[in-house]
Each structure stands twice: as structure tokens, then as C-alpha cells.
Structure 1
Amino acid sequence: MSRRQVNPSRRFADGGFVPLASSLQSKSRSSPCLTIGLVIVGALLLTGYSYSGAGGFGGSRMAVNRVEGDFSCTTEVQRAIPILKKAYGDSMHKVLHIGPDTCSVVSKLLKEEETEAWGVEPYDIEDADSNCKSLVRKGIVRVADIKFPLPYRAKSFSLVIASDALDYLSPKYLNKTLPELARVSADGLVIFTGFPGQQRAKVADISKFGRPAKLRSSSWWIRFFVQTSLEENEAAIKKFEQAAGKRSYNPGCQIFHLRSYH
């Protein structure tokens, strides 16, 4: 949200008529104090802006880099893997990632010690590389429409991570998909979504995604999580922020940490 600066000169105008001589003397005496006061107010505003994150419900409350141009939350997941491991510990041993280009995330997760990983690619992979097609042949990555029930039993994975996929779903399908993600997770659900106003990588091919990305605000997601009976995971949020602070990691996407259904 943009902040409109207050014009200091209005304060003098609002006070009514002031004689010229006394006005000059008053300005001479108050100018240093006024300058110092404005500097302090400006510093407080900058500090408050720096520490306002994605906001509220499960979102990262740290400083956020507003990424210019194209971006991908799937790429952001790869950057965040070390932070997620610190936050979730043993829950990172059996992970399901859902989203476009999931092969890249799964490949990176499989390189981590004591980590099993699977993926669901919601879109066509005709242009995928040989490594991705190999993961599909092995059954590690599945191509599936996430608007329908996932082909997994309840609590099949300790942690489910979703990126880029939910931004392309209307509320009608989100009402079905989001509970499904929570159903197949045992210890938690992490959602990476874009900020309103950001451009989506590879969005030009609308025929692939079916619709342009709908980048929703933090408050919108908060209301939606409440409607679907999903609760924030306060413990995971705290651990994630502590780990991110030590690594100077500032997310370029909104990150929500939710509890699984019990």
C-alpha cells in the first residue's frame, strides 16, 4: 500500500493568520525541532515498512523483496529449501511438491540427505527435459489435474508444498483442491503464492494454464483459509522466520504455513 506523505506546510496554514514578524521568529526557532521531528517520523515509517511482511495468517512477516519482472514461486521454493528444513526438521523427510516445473523441485529435494520427494505436475510436460520424463516414468512425478482428488491416501506425506498452481484456480476449484492438499499431508502444508501486481513467469501461454494467474492479497487468502477450516502453524512460522533471519533470506512470494487436518 502506498503511503501519502503529509505536507508540513499545511500545519502552518491550518493555524490561521500569523503576523509576518512573529511568523519569521517562530519559524526560525521551530525549524531545527521540526526538521528533527520529521527525520524521526520518516525513520519510523521506513522501519515499519521494512518489517511488514506478507501479513497475518501464516504469511511470512519478514521484509519482502518485490521482485521486478517475471518471477516464479516454484523457483522460490528451491531457494527456501534450507529454510524449510530448519523449520520442519523430520517433516521434510517425505515431501510432496505440487506445481508447474515440479521436476526441478523434486530433483533438488532428492539431493538432500534423508529426504524422499514426489511431485504432481498440473500441466502438460511435452517440452520437459529427459530428467523430468524419467521422473514421470518412475512414478516419482505424476501429471494430474489438481481440480480433482489427488491419487494418494490420506496423510501419505509428512509435508506438502504447493507453488504457482493455486494462483490459476478459481475459488470454485480452490474449495476442492486446498482441502485435498491438507488431506494428503500429515504434519503441515506450505503454500507459495504471488503478490498482487507481480508478473508471472511463462504466463504468455494461456492455453497451457487455462487462465491468467489471479494474484491475490494476503487478506484474501486469510479469509479463504478460515472458510476451509485451515489453521496457521504458529510453531512452523516462528522457526521459519528465525532460520530465514540467520540466512538473510527475504522471500519474493507470499508464504503460508498451515496445519494439516486432524
Structure 2
Amino acid sequence: MSRRPTTARRPADGGSIPFVGSFHPKSRPSPILSVGLVIVGALLVVGYIYHGSGGRYDLEAFNRLEGGSCAVEILSALPFLKKAYGDGMKKVLHVGSDTCSVVSNLLKEDDTEAWGIEPYELDDVDGNCKSLVRKGLVRAADIKFSLPYRAKSFSIAIVSDALDYLSPKYLNKTLPELARVAADGVVMFSGYPGQQRAKMPELSKFGRPAKFRSSSWWVRFFVQSNLEENEAAIKKFEQAAAKKSYKPACQVFHLKAYH
């Protein structure tokens, strides 16, 4: 974004600055100059996002510009999730927006199978996402109701950028469903209170703005819903993260599966 140039005050004695008399104090920048500044600004933004060998996108930089995403945080936390769950990371279900990107990255990991659920219709997706849908690895489903999987179909379920949009009424259905289909537990990524809210296009998809809750709110909700936090996984995750000085940009909760 170009900044409007500040008009300097003209000194009383114009002769003290060479050529000052050639500038009219009320002159305006030409339209061509304004357009040029906008184009340069846009190129700088694109250059910031699109860099590195092979022309790969820096997803973290992109999401910083777009307001942030807990889906990106999953990729940052992946090494520590592996430390916490070990073999439990071999068969993963991701639920939330940008699930095609998450599933694609998970499939690059050795010995990892991954599936994804988008909480709204898959519109205007890229070729990679269409391929995942054709293979049956990604599907759209209303997460406010029963998930289309049998109990313990996956080792672990990871949810991001979805629960913040649900009211407690539907959270009471969605979180137990995730605990039902995951054998080794649920990892939940949620925004911090005060974080930037969703962009307008996302509001139409979810039907309501995000409501970021505090960790104490979530803990009370877990207790009321008979969902038990996975203390062993929490300890392993935090120890691994501390060794690398990793601090998540989103809240991370670990819940036990239903047995």
C-alpha cells in the first residue's frame, strides 16, 4: 500500500533552497505516479510472499498478511506433535479450513496417512485440492453433526480454524464426535482472545464471526462435556517445544479419546 506523500511547508525565503521556486505549493501528483506507486507496493507484497528456491510459497508469511491461521500453526507444531504421540501420528484426520494444504503436507511425512474434512463446501479450489477430493482423502461435511466415520477410524484427530465459529450447543456435539473417531486423542488449535477476527469471505462460509475463548473457558467446557485432557501428551508436547523455544501462535489443547 503506498503512503500519501507529505507536502512539505515552503520556507519563507525560497532562495535558500535551489529550485524551490519551480514547485507549485498546490500541485498534486499525477495519476500515473499514483498508479505506479500502487503497482510497486503490490510487487513488494508479492515478493515478500513468493520467495525461496523453486518458487514455493511461504505459507506463514502469507497468513501473517491475511490475518493468521491455526492451520499454518499445525505445520510448525508437527515435530512436537510427533514427540507427543509417536505412532499416533501415522493415521491423521484434520478438520478445518485449509485442510487440503494440511493434508498435502502431512502426506509428505514418512509413514503418515492423512484425511481431511472442510466444514463448508469446497468452492474455487486448486488442482491439488481437487485431486485429494477425487481420491477420497478430503471431503466437505457439516461438523455440527455426526462425522461420517466409524469409531477409532484414525489414530489422532486435529482440528483448527473451525471450533471458534461454533456455539457451545454445537461444540457439545462436534468435540465428542472427534473424540469418538480418534483412537489416541484429539489435538485442538484455537485462537487467542483478542486475535484478529475472520475476513469477510470466511464469515459467509461459517455463518458467524469467530469467538476466541480463553484457555480457562475451554477447560471448564471440557469438564462440563466429560472430555478429559491428555496430561501425558501435554507434558511431552511442552517438553519438546521448550527444547526448541517454540511458542505456538494459537492455543493448543490435547484431549483423550473415548474408550
Q: Into which bin does the TM-score normalised by the smaller protein fall? A: 0.7 to 0.9
Residue among 178, 181, 185 paired with 2:175: 178
Check the 8 A contact 1:69/1:198 in 2, yes or no: no
2:114 corresponds to: 117
- State the TM-score, normalizing by the size of structure 2: 0.73
Distance in 1 (CA, whole Å) between partners of 2:200 and 2:206 is 8
Q: Which residue of structure 2 aligns with residue 84 of structure 1?
A: 81
Q: What is the count of residue pairs matched by the alignment? A: 196
Distance in 2 between the 1:260 and 1:90 partners?
15
State the shift of 1:195 in Å: 0.5
Structure of greater relative contact order (alpha carbons < 8 Å, 6+ residues apart): 1
Q: 1:155 to 1:203 in 2, by over 3 A?
A: farther
- Deviation at 1:124? 2.4
Question: Is there any run of 5+ residues in structure 1 with no aligned partner, and where?
Answer: 1-66
Q: CA RMSD in A?
A: 1.5
Whole-Å separation in 2 of the counterparts to 1:132 and 1:79: 21
- Kindly indicate whether residue 228 of structure 2 is the aligned counterpart of residue 231 of structure 1: yes
Note the residue ranges of structure 2 that are not aligned, 5 or more in a row: 1-63
1:187 corresponding residue in structure 2? 184
Counterpart AA for 2:171: L
AA aligned opposite 1:222: V
How do 1:47-126 and structure 2 match up within 5 A?
Answer: 70-126=67-123
Q: Which residue of 2 aligns with 1:169?
A: 166
Q: Paired residue for 1:220, among 201, 217, 222? A: 217
Structure 1 match to 2:50: none
Corresponding residue number in structure 1 for 2:247 = 250
CA distance in 2, matches of 1:202, 1:137: 29
Match in the other structure for 1:210:
207
* 1:147 maps to 2:144: yes
Identity score, percent: 74
2:156 corresponds to which of 143, 156, 159: 159
TM-score (norm 1): 0.72
CA contact (8 A) 1:183 1:260 kept: yes
Q: In the TM superposition, what is the alpha-carbon distance from 1:203 to its structure 2 partner?
A: 4.5
